[in-house]
Amino acid sequence: MTEPAGPDGLPARRLLLVHAHPDDESINNGATMAKYAAEGAQVTLVTCTLGEEGEVIPPELAHLAADRDNTLGEHRIGELAAAMRELGVTDHRFLGGPGLYRDSGMMGAAQNERPGCFWQADVEEAAGHLVAVIREVRPQVMVAYDPNGGYGHPDHIQAHRVAMLAADLAAEPGFRPDLGEPHAIARVYWNCVPRSVVEEGFARLRAAGGNIPFEGIASADDVPGVVDDAEATVAVDGTRYAQRKAAAMRAHVTQIAVDGPFFALSNDLGQPVFAMEYYRMVRGQQPAGRADDLFAGTEV
């Protein structure tokens, strides 16, 4: 289903999401992406790295890891494509092209210093690649991370910096006119999860207790982007798309193990899968109370 085209020939509602690694989009926004795509909005995902430094969960794929064959990045291109098929998202790209920026590893790792890693990238140059996408797809809404990248991973912090700078530069007529007509994004949101939602999710998980297949249960502190409830100003109800979100997460075979309403990363600690996805508006006119639509108040 495609929405009626706007005056410029583009679908009426256009959403851009900027993420650090393949899998972040499905964990954070899988239900939101599936919902807007199903409604005919244009959904564009830009992923900044291939996630080459990720740990590999299935033993039979352990050889892909950076310290062995070092082919995990290529493999994850396929996982991301499979996840996008589950969500119905056809426009997904890598910042500057696949493999231009390499995963920087966790904060403090030796890989942070590696030339070519995203953490070492020139922020304005990297933002230029995103400006080209913004001016092409002309989103009203952009979803990115908070300044700490949700949980302090260098690639997530850098993705925040690049996204926010690109949003500014894309609107400036004087910046790189060769990249297209200027475009101002009406609404910028950061991913977040309200504290009460996290606590409730972990209570559910503890209640499931022995019935989950993971080694243990993560703590609420392991969830990125936890905020006071009042700061989460948009709640997208993705309940109808929860199965598709779970399927997209499952498509990231090397990174995520999904079991019913719960999942685990390579640390094998269970976390709840959230079908409600939350956002904190940082640019745009704040609607009164909690909105349920990222496009609320935008002229479409």
Q: Which residues are annotated as a binding site for Zn(2+)?
A: 21, 24, 156
Closer to Zn ion by Cβ: residue 121 or 179: 121
Closer to Zn ion by Cβ: residue 21 or 92: 21
Q: How far is the CB of 280 from Zn ion (least distance, A)?
A: 18
The DSSP-derived string for 44-58 is EEEES---TT----S
**Which residues are at the interface with Zn ion (CB under 5 A)?**
20-21, 24
Closer to Zn ion by Cβ: residue 11 or 224: 224
State the CB neighbour count (10 A cutoff) for residue 100.
16
Q: Can you tell me the distance from the alpha carbon of 8 to that of 14, in angstroms, rounded to the nearest whole number? A: 12
Helix axes 123-137, 154-171, angle to 10 degrees: 60
With CA atoms as reference, report the closest residue to 236 among 284, 285, 196, 296. 296
Q: How far is the CB of 300 from Zn ion (least distance, A)?
A: 30
Closer to Zn ion by Cβ: residue 21 or 76: 21
Q: How far is the CB of 48 from Zn ion (least distance, A)?
A: 9
Closer to Zn ion by Cβ: residue 170 or 218: 218
Closer to Zn ion by Cβ: residue 106 or 296: 106
Give Cα 173 to chain centroid, integer Å. Answer: 28
Q: How far is the CB of 182 from Zn ion (least distance, A)?
A: 30
Sequence-distant (6+) residues with CB within 8 A of 110 are none
Q: Say if strands 257-259 and 226-227 run parallel, antiparallel, or are unpaired.
A: unpaired
Instruction: Give Rg (Cα) of the chain.
Output: 18
Sequence-distant (6+) residues with CB within 8 A of 201 are 271, 272, 274
Q: How far is the CB of 25 from Zn ion (least distance, A)?
A: 9
Q: How far is the CB of 19 from Zn ion (least distance, A)?
A: 7
> Nearest-CB residue to Zn ion?
21
Q: How far apart are the first and last CA of the chain?
A: 17
